[in-house]
Structure 1
Amino acid sequence: MSKGKRPTTVTPIAPALEVDDASAVDWSDSADVVVVGWGAAGACAAIEARSAGASVRVIDRFEGGGASALSGGVVYAGGGTPYQTQAGFKDTPDAMADYLRHEVNGVVSDTTLQKFCDDSVANLAWLEAQGARFAATMPDHKTSYPPEGKFLYYSGNEVVPVCRGERGAPAPRGHRAVAKGQSGATLYAALRDATLRAGAVAITQASVRRLVRQRSADSQPGAVLGVEIWELPPGDPATLRHAALNRQVARWRTFRPGKAAACRVEAAQIEQQAAQPRFIRALRGVVLSTGGFIYNPELVKANAPHTRRGWPIGGAGCDGSGLRLGQSAGAATQALNNVSAWRFITPPSVWPKGVVVNAAGERFCNEQVYGATLGHELVDKHGGRGWLVLDGKLRKQAMRQCLFGGLWAFQSLPALAMMLFSAKKAATPEALAARIQADPVTLRASLDSASAAARGEHHDAFGKSPDMRHDLGRGPYYALDISIGSPTFPLAVLTLGGLVLDESNGQVLDAAGQRIGGLFAAGRAAIGLPSSRYISGLSLADCVFSGRRAGRAAMAA
């Protein structure tokens, strides 16, 4: 590494190796289907390909899991799941699709959306067949993540009046896998074990750095024949250190992000120094399922610089390697500028009864919406600067919920710190405006309008439910900084865009809309259901839907 050059954790990707035919390469191994990335999408692709009779190699830069293992383990499912029924809710695939159109915004076709909803009950049952478990217990309040012992909840905007759709009452569709503690690791462990039981061969601590493709003799894109991997030597001390570093990244990423970043750098240096190359032939197809690119600073800077002050979330392998591998074969991409910004203000469940305002003091959103919806409005439309305004009554209720409401530490501690140590306090809206450098007339008008709606004098300007409105007519007032980059209240970000696919089978398309032979993609490496607006559980549900689709199609290629 040259002096002064910032160390990189990004997998180096080389241009595709073009050959006249497969015999030109000295292959060390072969399989019908080669899956690149062993998170939820890769596991589902590998299991499905094996069930179709394919031999499978699944390759992971670390030991598997990726962002899926670090997630909350929530699967967005509906249409009448057993757990919805047990909890007393009626749901249909059509009602589910009607709601999801508000979130998908045409990023996939209506045909694909409807199939996703039609298949939802069966896909949840398929997950259970792999060893995952779900339950019907629900929390008492809307929340960003259910408390211990609760596993079914409204994980998006289903209860927000303007988002409900037209087909019946809202139904909870967030299905958290049953686990002690957060559920991502438990859900992924079931998929990992099912992958191995199915007979797929896992190659871990190995990164794919280049595709091998047949040289094209006409206008058709050359088919992908296999991959070049760089693998750490099994059992070597450096390899064991590499595995330990990735476990430390998972351990420290929330509470000591600086330490986690240093571990990622050291792990990448081990890869660069100790990994050895070899080629693996894909007789039928390669599936790219490596996750997003939130840990690729250059890609984030080029596509979504306005989100760089956010707190990146994902696995250490979310560096866009699958995206860049696809591009090396001429693949088209879409929505790379779409980064989901998570500004959750619930729990505490009473916080959304306050008012969110931008830097000028203007109210800009319905406070009860899902955190990524609020984050989109804040970051993409209002420069990333905003405040949540509470009165003394709401603050007291929120403090009680944080202390005695059974919240997770990652929910209660930042909220308490905000209210106790960094809130701006004032007796009047005008005095509060001076403290947050907002326009006093605008802030007064924002609070007065919301309060009048709470008193029933007119409709709420943003369609807030009557039970979530609150009269802010009396101080004292407290302003909490909800801006991106807030040191007390981090705002999480993750990427949503990816490779463009033929939605019928998950095959990767080039810029001319032609299928690239032998190349498929799944999960957040590709365009899918969550690529427009993120809601909790939709990414993992899409991993199952798109992973199974790609695994089947790769075997049939």
Structure 2
Amino acid sequence: MADVVIVGFGAAGACAAIEAADAGADVLVLDRFTGGGASAVSGGVVYAGGGTAQQRDAGVPDTAEAMYDYLRLEVGDVVSERTLRAFCEGSRDMVTWLEGNGVPFEGSLCPYKTSYPSDDYYLYYSGSEAAGGFRDAATPAPRGHRAKGRGTSGKILFGRLADAVRRRKVRVLPGTTATSLVVDGSGVVRGVEVRTLRDASFLARKRHRLYGQWSAKPGIYVPMVRKALHRGVERIERKHGREVTISARRAVVLAAGGFIANRELVREHAPAYRGGLALGTAADDGSGIRLGTSAGGRTAELDRISAWRFLVPPSAFLGGVLVDIHGKRVIDESRYGAATGERMITAHEGKGWLLVDDTLVREARRSVRGQSQWFQWLQALYLLRRGRVVGDTLDEVARKAGVDAAGLAATVEAYRSGGPDPMGKPDEFVRALDRPPYSLIDVSIKPSLGYPCPMLTLGGLVVDEDTGAVLGDTGPVRGLYAAGRTAVGICSRSYVSGLSLADCVFSGRRAGLNGAREQGHIDKNENVF
């Protein structure tokens, strides 16, 4: 029994636990594995602006209004204007709050456009802020705040939040799967039915923990390995798990991630998004969303999936031209990778080739190692070697790649016209493409260990934007809240790096605080969200 029971111990669940505990609630956190979820295997980037300490250290001017103007273009009306403004205006304080809970950030500004910076930099342009169209509508600023740590630093961000949770004496119950909600006769959620390994043998719990860790990484990159390991997880749970009812005196918070690991649900809601890398853990199976709908919760944006087709690093590739099988231009190449992936999937059947000339290839080879994490470097090497065909003329390289030569020639002619770029790419990224030999690099979205396309789901349970309460057909489901990718949030229509983790913090804090206030235990006038 606890005041607030939280299902899922990733960034959203951790932030919910911290706020609920600070509000005086007795908190219990459940996780199928040992915590971290997709947050721990992420890049650890938090989207924030409005003049954070890191932006000031880098000499970068920014305002909450400029951040709002940009995000409104990205996210549309997925949340209300009031909610988006609250997110932007509270952004600077959000970073301060994270730092107060031990998460380290730094204002070292990355000087080149990238999908993720090397270990020399921790502040960067993580979206399309400087791309054509966006820079004219909103003053651009780097807002990708990467937690300071070597490699992909999601493990640093989550680890520090987990430490903050435990400092508050919050109970964490690993190896525990929520199977159903306990709902009373009046429709109020009163608790959770779980299957737990709490009383299993040490060996069973250790094997379960290791299988979970290995299926997250390296299993995330090799789906067959993940499937095999997950079958082992399920066998242990069936054999050693015990059914337990956990009562919630005030509320249950669902923060169990999205459903990218559930291929059946992906096929049902977003059938075009195939051939990608499921970015998350095996627990991102939609179970949190299923729990919410079982209590009457509504869903939205389930067809929204973010597919990342990054062209950089190396930054030299921004000067290339991305074309489809007909040789037609796909998008402004300086756009964020999720925008590129969505355009390729929805309008070009997932097919794409990047045209570069000899100048860009040489520049890419010189710069790629210094601009990359190890996995980005390996992907760039794959593209420059196995993913590339070369020809002395545009006609020859098109023929080798299977791209329409006439269409490619027309696209290049328009690109070289000397006027504004037809796709709106800013002038500093436009290159002449006039030095043969020419290369067409295959960046199509398909299963590939050498050049995967990471994907994550964005939709979930509809929640009250003031409280985080799950909404049903007639209003809030009493005693039930949702956060992170289990819920519809800031990034549920469109994603840029850092926006999901920032929304996990924003929505997790909101759900935890208001869950602790359920049934009037805390003064409702204290809502800071």
**TM-score, with normalisation over the residues of structure 2?**
0.95
Corresponding position: 1:34 with 2:39: no
Aligned AA (1:543) = C
Q: Which moved more, 1:54-63 or 1:443-452?
A: 443-452
1:534-549 maps to which residues of 2 (within 5 A)? 534-549=495-510
Shift of 1:543: 0.7
Q: CA offsets per residue over residues 228-258 of structure 1, 9 Å max, x none?
A: 0100135432111000111222331355443
The residue correspondences of 1:156-555 to structure 2 (distance < 5 A) are: 156-164=127-135, 166-167=137-138, 169-216=139-186, 222-232=187-197, 233-253=199-219, 256-403=222-369, 405-452=370-417, 457-485=418-446, 487=448, 488-510=450-472, 512-555=473-516
Deviation at 1:474, TM superposition (A): 4.0
User: What is the deviation of 1:406?
Assistant: 4.7
Give the partner amino acid of 2:486: A
- Corresponding position of 1:25: none
Cα-to-partner distance string for 1:138-180 (whole Å, 9 max, x where unaligned): 222111111113111111111113113545x311111111113
Contact 2:309 / 2:340 at 8 angstroms: preserved in 1?
yes
Which runs of structure 2 are paired with 1:14-53 in the superposition (5 Å)? 30-53=1-24
Distance 2:381 2:224 in 1: 23
Residue 523 of structure 2: aligned partner? none
Per the alignment, residue 18 of structure 1 pairs with none
Number of residue pairs matched by the alignment: 516
The ranges of structure 1 where at least 4 consecutive aligned residues each deviate by more than 6 angstroms after the TM superposition are none
Kindly state the Cα deviation for residue 182 of structure 1 after the two structures are TM-superposed.
2.2
Kept in 2, the 8 Å contact 1:372–1:534? The answer is yes
Shift of the 234–272 alpha-carbon distance from structure 1 to 2, 3 Å rule, reads closer
Residue in structure 1 matched with residue 525 of structure 2 by the alignment: none
Q: Secondary structure at the match of 1:148?
A: coil
Opposite residue 252 of structure 1, the aligned amino acid is: P
Q: Which runs of 5+ in 1 are unaligned?
A: 1-29, 217-221
1:161 aligned counterpart, secondary structure: coil
Report the aligned-residue RMSD: 1.4
Q: Secondary structure at the match of 1:369?
A: coil
The residue number in structure 2 matching 1:143 is 114
Cα distance, 1:311 vs structure 2:
1.1
Q: Deviations over 1:61-102 (max 9, x none)?
A: 000000011111111111110110111111111111111011
TM-score (norm 1): 0.90
Does the 8 Å contact 2:221/2:277 carry over to 1? no
CA distance in 2: counterparts of 1:149 and 1:365, whole angstroms: 30
Q: Secondary structure at the match of 1:396?
A: helix
Determine if contact 2:313/2:371 at 8 Å carries over to the other structure.
Answer: no
CA contact (8 A) 1:448 1:472 kept: no
Check conservation: 1:448, 1:473, Cα contact below 8 A: no
Which of 79, 82, 86 is residue 111 of structure 1 equivalent to? Answer: 82
The letter for the 1-side match of 2:458 is L
Residue identity matched to 1:446: T
**Contact 1:304–1:338 (CA<8 Å) still a contact in 2?**
yes
Aligned to 2:522: none
1:103 maps to a residue whose letter is E
In structure 2, the residue matched to 1:125 is 96
In the other structure, the counterpart of 1:16 is: none
Secondary structure of 1:425's aligned partner: strand
